[in-house]
């Protein structure tokens, strides 16, 4: 599903974009309101707009969207302040679908997107008789089940979205720790725990850069996966 995202704070923009892309969304992000406005007819299934974007604010863009797209969900973002109540009223008067006040958790934004767009992303098919339930944090490979913590689930979701691509330490920190401080050892520790629950050697370390999930990681026969599992602890992070 394709989303237009307007947020002028570059750090917040990048953090949210990385998180949503890891969940499989196609995101076109903008820092400038006029640039976002020029793209509103490019076939988006959802719009997320910052009220105070430079050059053209989210409310003005919302008005233009509703001239042509009456049903497409539009989420308006603004700071959490009683002084902004008038903006909330104005946004709903012009047809916004939902409103989110900063600061907010990325999970809250994702829930709003899923609800408004009727998105079902609970289960991702990874191969023959292999699937990952993001909501439950449960990987099923034939009759084998592996349970994942929230951080492990987020990390696996990143790898699935970026399969065969390098996932940097910075991206892992931005999404899994939502931009908060995380030491390199914390990331490596999480990688080690994830490796213990996945087929052998499916996560490759790229020295001083990050990690790659190999494209055919979940295509091995079940018996080879279970045999290889005994060697997991020997794989360095």
Per mean pLDDT, which range of 72-76, 163-167, 190-194 is the poorest? Answer: 163-167
For 23-45, what is the mean pLDDT?
91
> Domain 2-117: which topology?
Rossmann fold (3.40.50)
Higher pLDDT, 211 or 170: 211
Distances (CA, A) of 171 to 1, 166, 175, 179: 21, 10, 6, 9
Q: How many other CB atoms are found less than 10 A from the CB of residue 44?
A: 22
> Is the Cβ–Cβ distance between 128 and 94 less than 8 Å?
no
* Summary mean pLDDT of the chain: 83
Looking at residue 223, its pLDDT comes to 43
Burial annotation 124-156 (CB, 10 A radius, 16+ → b, else e): bebeeebebbbeebbbbbeeeebebeebbbbbb
Whole-model pTM: value is: 0.58
Q: How many other CB atoms are found less than 10 A from the CB of residue 212?
A: 19
Number of continuous H segments (helices) and E segments (strands) in the chain = 9, 12
> Is the Cβ–Cβ distance between 3 and 23 less than 8 Å?
no
> Domain 123-234: which topology?
Arc Repressor Mutant, subunit A (1.10.10)
pLDDT over threshold 50, residue 182: yes
Indicate the domain borders of the chain. Answer: 2-117, 123-234
Q: Where are the alpha helices (DSSP H) in 38-96?
A: 58-68, 85-93
Higher pLDDT, 46 or 180: 46
Looking at residue 230, its pLDDT comes to 42
pLDDT over threshold 90, residue 219: no
Confidence of residue 119 (pLDDT cuts 50, 70, 90): low
């Amino acid at each position: 599903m394709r989303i237009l995202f307007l947020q002028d704070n570059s750090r917040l923009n990048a953090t949210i974009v990385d998180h949503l892309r890891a969940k499989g969304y196609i995101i076109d992000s903008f820092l400038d309101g006029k640039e976002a406005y020029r793209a509103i007819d490019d076939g988006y299934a959802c719009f997320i707009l910052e009220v105070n974007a430079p050059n053209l604010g989210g409310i003005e863009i919302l008005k233009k969207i509703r001239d042509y797209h009456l049903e497409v969900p539009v989420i308006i973002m603004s700071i959490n302040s009683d002084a902004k109540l008038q903006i909330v009223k104005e946004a709903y008067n012009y047809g916004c679908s939902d409103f989110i006040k900063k600061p907010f958790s990325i999970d809250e934004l994702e829930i709003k997107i899923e609800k408004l767009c009727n998105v079902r992303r609970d289960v991702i098919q990874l191969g023959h008789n292999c699937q990952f339930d993001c909501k439950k944090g449960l990987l099923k490979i034939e009759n084998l089940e592996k349970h994942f913590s929230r951080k492990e689930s987020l990390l696996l979701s990143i790898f699935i979205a970026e399969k065969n691509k390098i996932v940097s330490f910075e991206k892992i920190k931005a999404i899994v720790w939502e931009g908060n401080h995380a030491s390199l050892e914390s990331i490596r520790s999480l990688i080690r725990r994830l490796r213990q629950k996945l087929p052998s050697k499916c996560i490759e370390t790229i020295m001083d850069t990050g990690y790659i999930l190999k494209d055919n990681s979940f295509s091995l026969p079940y018996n080879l996966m279970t045999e290889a599992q005994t060697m997991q602890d020997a794989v360095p992070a």
